[in-house]
């Protein structure tokens, strides 16, 4: 089992380390081909990548945080993530059909 931490943000890495999640592979982008059944993937992935992770038998946990508009798009520290109630939430997704219109 591999823990994949998918982020480009040092604050998120530190925030995860505070929760005991520091022994993973930290990558700025995820290629679903890297994922094996039983892996754990943590980050803020778009839904199509979440579906690909789940299809490979891995678990996805999203770093969720409610930020005021003034903080969006900024580099956040672990302390800022704490102050705004960051949490890990497990999600599962499945691609059903392609819709071309």
pLDDT digits (tens, 9 = 90+) for 67-79: 888 888 888 999 9
Range of the domain at 42: 3-91
Q: Is residue 97 part of a domain?
A: no
First to last CA, the chain: 40
Q: Is residue 98 part of a domain?
A: no
Dist CA 29 CA 97 (whole Å): 25
Count how many domains the chain has. 1
DSSP code, position 8: S
Decide if 49 contacts 41 (C-beta within 8 A): no
pLDDT at 98: 79
pLDDT tens for 21-46 read 989 999 999 999 999 999 999 999 99
Q: Is residue 17 part of a domain?
A: yes
Burial (0-12, 13-18, 19+ Cβ within 10 Å), 45: buried
Decide if 84 contacts 67 (C-beta within 8 A): yes
């Amino acid at each position: 089992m591999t823990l994949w931490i998918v982020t480009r943000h040092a604050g998120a890495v530190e925030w995860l380390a505070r929760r005991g999640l520091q022994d993973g592979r930290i990558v700025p982008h995820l290629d679903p081909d890297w994922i094996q059944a039983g892996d754990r993937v943590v980050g803020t992935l778009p839904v199509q990548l979440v579906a690909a992770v789940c299809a490979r038998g891995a678990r996805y946990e999203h770093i969720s945080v409610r930020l005021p508009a003034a903080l969006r798009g900024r580099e956040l520290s672990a302390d800022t993530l704490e102050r705004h109630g960051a949490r890990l939430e497990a999600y599962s997704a499945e691609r059903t059909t392609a819709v071309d219109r």
